């Protein structure tokens, strides 16, 4: 899958579905799902200037992530779809005079996956995002088939709706 390295707190805000624009100096023609890689940071600190509107939307997520022991760094934390790439998008997250990558359908992974970041859009091999139906409640969940774990691939997911743990035997890929 394609991956994009993004600095915190932006990476988390995108994975949580709060920030719907990624601002880049370069335009992309890519459309589809990308992995959100939270860049590693030496200081593990960040300083950003939020507008009041942005702060209102982000505050609870940032507070929660900080309470749970800081933002994730150096890991793939979720995925999002790139649906367009424009300039002067009306979103409160869009910056002027750069390209606004328009994002939709963010997914936050239950377990972040360690990975080294790269520049530009890069390819991350080793796992696949699929949709499965929870055998207990029928909820359609976006999950990862992780082939990076040795010696076994891991197929495990906790249903977001009913909380049941779905193991490989109950793994019914629908998409
Ligand atoms: Zn369920």
Q: What is the pLDDT of residue 66?
A: 66
Q: Which two tokens stand for residue 141?
A: 């969940």
Q: What is the pLDDT of residue 156?
A: 86
CA of 162 from ligand 1 middle (Å) equals 4
CATH number at residue 154: 2.20.25
CA of 77 from ligand 1 middle (Å) equals 22
- Please tell me whether residues 68 and 79 are part of one structural domain: yes
HSE at residue 71, side-chain half, CA atoms within 13 A, is: 26
- Please tell me whether residues 49 and 105 are part of one structural domain: yes
Interacting residues of 65 by C-beta distance below 8 A, sequence separation 6+: 9, 12, 71, 72
- Please tell me whether residues 111 and 131 are part of one structural domain: no
Alpha helices in 20-174, H assignment, sequence order: 52-67
Domain that holds residue 168: 126-175
Q: What is the pTM of this model?
A: 0.83
Residue 32's alpha-carbon distances to 20, 29, 36, in angstroms, are 14, 10, 13
Check residue 82 and give left, alpha or beta (phi > 0: left; psi -120 to 50: alpha): beta
- Please tell me whether residues 88 and 159 are part of one structural domain: no
Instruction: Render each residue's pLDDT in the chain as its tens digit; 175 residues.
Output: 899 999 888 999 999 999 999 999 999 999 999 999 998 865 556 677 889 999 999 888 877 776 665 677 889 999 999 999 999 999 999 999 999 999 999 999 888 888 888 888 999 988 888 999 999 999 999 888 888 877 778 888 999 999 999 988 888 898 7
Q: How many CB atoms lie within 10 A of CB 102?
A: 18
CA of 135 from ligand 1 middle (Å) equals 7
CA of 156 from ligand 1 middle (Å) equals 13
Q: What is the pLDDT of residue 69?
A: 59
Q: What is the pLDDT of residue 29?
A: 96
- Please tell me whether residues 108 and 152 are part of one structural domain: no
- Please tell me whether residues 117 and 160 are part of one structural domain: no
């Amino acid at each position: 899958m394609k991956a994009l390295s993004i600095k915190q707190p932006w990476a988390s805000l995108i994975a949580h579905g709060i920030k719907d624009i990624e601002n880049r100096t370069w335009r992309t023609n890519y459309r589809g799902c990308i992995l959100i890689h939270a860049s590693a940071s030496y200081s593990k600190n960040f300083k950003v200037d939020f507008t009041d509107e942005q702060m209102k939307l982000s505050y609870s997520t940032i507070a929660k992530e900080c309470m749970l022991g800081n933002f994730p760094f150096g890991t793939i934390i979720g995925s999002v779809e790139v649906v367009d790439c424009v300039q002067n998008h009306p979103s409160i997250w869009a910056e002027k005079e750069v390209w606004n990558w328009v994002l939709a359908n963010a997914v936050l992974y239950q377990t972040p996956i360690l990975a080294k970041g790269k520049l530009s859009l890069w390819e991350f091999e080793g796992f696949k995002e699929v949709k499965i139906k929870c055998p207990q409640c029928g909820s359609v969940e976006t999950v990862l088939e992780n082939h990076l774990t040795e010696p076994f691939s891991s197929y495990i997911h906790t249903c977001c709706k009913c909380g049941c743990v779905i193991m490989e035997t109950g793994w019914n890929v629908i998409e």
